[in-house]
Amino acid sequence: MKAGALAHLIRLQRSTVTVNEAGTPVPTWGEYARLRAEVVERSTAEFLEDGGAADNGTIVFRTRPFGDLTTADRIAFQGALWNVREVRLIGRREGLEIRCVNVNGAG
């Protein structure tokens, strides 16, 4: 994977459970890693909005291998949040392809 293609910064987030003052468990998201990535594909709706993040859509990132990324995680990218839907290894640990859906468009 060529370093020049990894032009974007993505922030990996993972959910943890904390307890509020009332003793109720509350899920919170925290950043646990930052990676350089290539944006491979975006939905048509995002292209129509001049490359900005749309309220719904999909996106595919390619990055260097990163061991513990799962579909329970999400990615913060250019002011939008993306739920990880698929993590696929490229070649023999040459890289990762991460398919995501916008948090607002999920579900």
Q: What is the pLDDT of residues 55-99, one digit of tens each?
A: 458 999 999 988 789 999 999 999 999 999 999 988 887 899 999
* Beta-bridge partner residues of 19: 25
Q: Which residue range forms the structural domain that includes residue 92?
A: 3-105
Amino acid at 13: Q
Q: What is the pLDDT of residue 31?
A: 95
CATH value at residue 95? 2.40.10.270
User: Does the pLDDT value for residue 46 go beyond 50?
Assistant: no
Reduced to 3 states, what is the DSSP secondary structure of residue 5? helix
**% of residues, the chain, pLDDT over 90:** 58
What DSSP element (H or E) covers 15?
A: strand 8-19
Q: What is the pLDDT of residue 41?
A: 72
| Predicted TM-score (pTM) of this structure | 0.75
Number of domains in the chain: 1
What is the Cα–Cα distance from 107 to 80, expressed in whole angstroms? 16
The residue to which tokens 């925290």 are assigned:
30
Counting Cβ atoms within 10 Å, is residue 76 exposed (0-12), middle (13-18) or buried (19+)?
A: middle
- Residue 75 neighbours by CB under 8 Å, 6+ apart: 10, 11, 12, 13, 61, 81, 82, 84, 98, 100
Assigned token pair, 64: 């260097």
